[in-house]
Chain A
Amino acid sequence: MQNEKIPTRQLIGFFIVSRLSFSISNIAAMHVPPYNQDQWIMVIVSAIYIIIASIPLLFLANRIKNDTVKDFMKSLYGKTISKILGLFYVIYFIIQAINILTLQTELVTTSILPESSNALVTTLMIIVCIYMTSRGIIVIFRAVDLFVPIIYSFLIVLILLGVNNVDLSLFSPVFVDSSLLELNKGAIMMASMYNDIIVIAMLIPELENKSISTKAFFSILIVNIVTLNIIIIVTQGALGIEYSRHSLFPFLIYVKLIDVANIIERIAAIFVLMWLIAVTSRINITLYLATKIFRDIFEKEKDDKLMLFVVSVIVWLVSVAITWVRPVVGTREDLNSYLTIIFVIFIIVIPTITCLVYFFKRKSINKSDN
């Protein structure tokens, strides 16, 4: 297993599953402009901004090739600066892990375990994630072969069972009530939530092909956009445009409304199970990357468990502390603006600067490689 690498199939499957954890939870796409029946158009437009925002990291990702990220950064910035940058990225992934874990805790305690304490749910989840992450990146990605068919079968079945509640007339008129400015504003906000590219870039040394092909990147993007749009359309069609925005977990309500001939009903647990699988993948990868960079900074062994423990404890403690004192889903406006700033810094600014540095230093780097 030591020499095993991640095939492109698993890479695509992983990002389809992990992105679904956001698409079916609080559906952030419903909380950005134009706030009406044209959200699905905004989601399509957001693809353009996601591509633009991903260009610097895509470019860099395909330059790392045989280096590790650490070696690549070291050759560009020197030892000290690359370590400082590495530390920033550890913080970035820890913030992402906390964001997902707190979201997960709130959904579980709101939907199926209302009597359970937030701390208990957070603790159990982090234990599961520590175990899975400790088994290594290959195991995390290999599980995808099992998860993709399960999750997508569940999703398709749930959508079909509830489709009789969907009123498509709500989506009319199309592109009349929203301006181009609003659509673009919403699309940019949406794109700022799409941080998959940074995870892909960090995983390049682990990939079978040592690069992310345009085809793989677009496959992930297209499947994610189409899936998100289907979820938005059925949810808005069943709940109405306004109520979908009021609800913290609109797709959960969509599933709660399923009632086929008084036989198939009350199947919200299936939704939660599906969501748990998806979100666990997301937490695992953020924990893994934070740990990996941490190990690189402190020059620890590849299978050192202490760093994973340190990162996980930080994530766990902060998540428990947050969910102990405040709701996280309903009060996300401030958090989202912080996350947007973080996105701009870590996915656009730093990679763009790195691209420029690479451009100026590429001759000396290539020389030393030879």
Chain B
Amino acid sequence: MLIKKMFSIMILLILSIVLTSCAGSREISELAIVTATGIDLVDGKVLLTNEVIKPNANPTKGENNGTSVLYLQHEGDTLFDAIRNATLTFDRKLLYSHNEIYIFGEELAKRGIGDYINFFLYDIEPRESAFMVVAKDAKAYEVMGINEGLSATPGKYLELLIENHKYTSKTRSLNINEYIKYYYQRKTPVLGVVNREQKKFINHIQAEGQSDHRDILNVEGGAVFFEDSLIGYYSGEEMIGFNFLVDEIGESLIVFEVSDEFTNNDENYIATKGKYTVLEIKDSKTKNDLIVEDGKINLTVDVKLRGVIGEDSKGLDFRNLNIVKATEEACSNKVKEYISQTMDKAQKDLKVDTFGVDTIFHSKYPEEWKEISNDWESIFPEISYNINVETFIIRTGLLDMPTNVEKGESNAK
């Protein structure tokens, strides 16, 4: 009995030691936490640029003059090889669990990234939810190390810029998992982009010889891939159309002009009359449908959006329902313009279907799809389309008439 008790106590003691998870542990003091990674191809080798947090730095920006991170560059035949080669010259092992950004240099993106992104999926450490972006007209490392926001690190700055896509819809956030999903589904993923731009310093005492310009990042636009290679870019406005087409529009703005016939009488203007009215989208739904008639494919894009008036410089009287209707129509026309612009770019310039029209065709005409699926890239540029947009203004904010117009009796024409 005593032996049994002793044996049980021994087992418990051994288990309590083993189950503390200390076996093979990786202490924070031996790791380097990566917060952004740039991937380039130089002379056939992978050039990896990693942004690594300096553990002892004060993360408050300004106090350390942006030196809370280090940048490491390492080469290798593959991504993993380059990561491990880092340990030859850097004293800590890189940890990718917290990395939220992978930036691909344009040259590599044009060459194709399919063979390199495997690493993110093979290993448990990288997160499938990390964003992928393309450095437009640049190497990946050229857009790193810039932090003109309030974030603690440049990587976080870029990550938040990408997450801000919902406020403008002029770009896109696409993570590794979504990339793979779109890639297998459509073969034409659209990634976000990042540009390096220069802006003039404001409120800055310039030292002698120092440039009066500073670098910032801009994520406007989208990088269009065919299979795994970059083939072109969408502009910011084209991305609005794209986001409408794939039904991923956020709470962004539509800036449009309402015809002059609906504006106030000129004598009511007490301040400058502007051109634009702005609608903030609160909710939008796009339904795409295809029809094949006489061997011709026609795409119908139906958009229904609801929004609130966020700004009006033109002096519209929203007490008048006709003016509200006219504003809605003007907004709808602008959305149609965005979508047409994007469709034209995809059909005439890029000649690839980035919107998943093929999946609609596959779904609706499965038998015909089997015959044409291999020729879709030559069929897509030829398809006709019509766009229907319905806008509903659900609120006009705190004003029913802008401040540049004096509110008299019924002023509307």
- Which residues of A95-147 are within 8 A (CB) of B? 110-111, 113-116, 120, 124
A51 within 8 A of B: no
Compute how far the CA of A169 lies from the CA of B185 in the bound complex, rounded to whole angstroms: 11
Residues in chain B near residue A241, CB distance under 8 A = 184-185
Q: What's the minimum C-beta distance from B246 to chain A, rounded to whole angstroms?
A: 11
Residues in chain B near residue A240, CB distance under 8 A = 180-182, 184-185
Whether the Cβ atoms of A173 and B366 lie closer than 8 Å is yes
Whether the Cβ atoms of A239 and B18 lie closer than 8 Å is no
Partner-contacting stretch, out of B53-61, B106-114, B124-132, B275-283:
B124-132
A208 within 8 A of B: no
- Which residues of B167-184 are within 8 A (CB) of A? 177, 180-182, 184
A243 within 8 A of B: yes
Interface string of A252-270 (1 = CB under 8 A from B): 0100110100000100000
B3 within 8 A of A: no
Whether the Cβ atoms of B124 and A170 lie closer than 8 Å is no
A333 within 8 A of B: no
- Which residues of A27-53 are within 8 A (CB) of B? none
Compute how far the CA of A262 lies from the CA of B363 in the bound complex, rounded to whole angstroms: 35
Interface string of B88-126 (1 = CB under 8 A from A): 000000000000000000000000000000000100110
Contact of A116 among B23, B128, B180, B359 (CB under 8 A): B23
Compute how far the CA of A167 lies from the CA of B246 in the bound complex, rounded to whole angstroms: 13
Whether the Cβ atoms of B26 and A115 lie closer than 8 Å is yes
Whether the Cβ atoms of A243 and B24 lie closer than 8 Å is no
Q: What's the minimum C-beta distance from B120 to chain A, rounded to whole angstroms?
A: 11
Contact of B177 among A170, A173, A257 (CB under 8 A): A257
Residues in chain B near residue A242, CB distance under 8 A = 184
Compute how far the CA of A259 lies from the CA of B364 in the bound complex, rounded to whole angstroms: 33
Whether the Cβ atoms of A257 and B129 lie closer than 8 Å is yes
- Which residues of A213-263 are within 8 A (CB) of B? 238-243, 246-247, 253, 256-257, 259
A325 within 8 A of B: no
A172 within 8 A of B: yes
Q: What's the minimum C-beta distance from A160 to chain B, rounded to whole angstroms?
A: 18
Whether the Cβ atoms of B129 and A115 lie closer than 8 Å is no
Residues in chain A near residue B359, CB distance under 8 A = 169, 172
Number of interface residues of B (CB under 8 A): 24
Residues in chain A near residue B364, CB distance under 8 A = 173
Whether the Cβ atoms of B185 and A170 lie closer than 8 Å is yes
B362 within 8 A of A: yes
Number of interface residues of A (CB under 8 A): 29
Compute how far the CA of A165 lies from the CA of B364 in the bound complex, rounded to whole angstroms: 24
Residues in chain B near residue A265, CB distance under 8 A = 129
Contact of B127 among A110, A120, A165, A256 (CB under 8 A): A256
Whether the Cβ atoms of A257 and B366 lie closer than 8 Å is no
Q: What's the minimum C-beta distance from B333 to chain A, rounded to whole angstroms?
A: 29
Residues in chain B near residue A120, CB distance under 8 A = 23
Compute how far the CA of A110 lies from the CA of B184 in the bound complex, rounded to whole angstroms: 25
Whether the Cβ atoms of B177 and A253 lie closer than 8 Å is yes
Compute how far the CA of A165 lies from the CA of B128 in the bound complex, rounded to whole angstroms: 12
Residue of B nearest to A249 (CB): B124
Compute how far the CA of A113 lies from the CA of B22 in the bound complex, rounded to whole angstroms: 11
Whether the Cβ atoms of B366 and A177 lie closer than 8 Å is yes
Q: What's the minimum C-beta distance from B74 to chain A, rounded to whole angstroms?
A: 21
Compute how far the CA of A256 lies from the CA of B176 in the bound complex, rounded to whole angstroms: 12
Residues in chain A near residue B124, CB distance under 8 A = 110-111, 114
Compute how far the CA of A115 lies from the CA of B177 in the bound complex, rounded to whole angstroms: 25
Interface string of B78-93 (1 = CB under 8 A from A): 0000000000000000
Compute how far the CA of A259 lies from the CA of B121 in the bound complex, rounded to whole angstroms: 18
Contact of B128 among A176, A177, A246, A256 (CB under 8 A): A256
Compute how far the CA of A170 lies from the CA of B363 in the bound complex, rounded to whole angstroms: 9
Compute how far the CA of A117 lies from the CA of B413 in the bound complex, rounded to whole angstroms: 81
Compute how far the CA of A239 lies from the CA of B182 in the bound complex, rounded to whole angstroms: 10
Question: Given A169-B363, A253-B128, list of 12 further CB < 8 A pairs?
Answer: A114-B125, A172-B363, A173-B362, A239-B177, A240-B182, A243-B177, A243-B180, A243-B181, A246-B121, A247-B121, A256-B128, A265-B129
- 19 A-B pairs with CB atoms under 8 Å apart are A110-B124, A114-B125, A115-B23, A115-B24, A116-B23, A165-B177, A167-B181, A169-B359, A170-B185, A172-B363, A173-B363, A176-B366, A238-B177, A239-B180, A240-B184, A240-B185, A243-B177, A253-B128, A256-B128
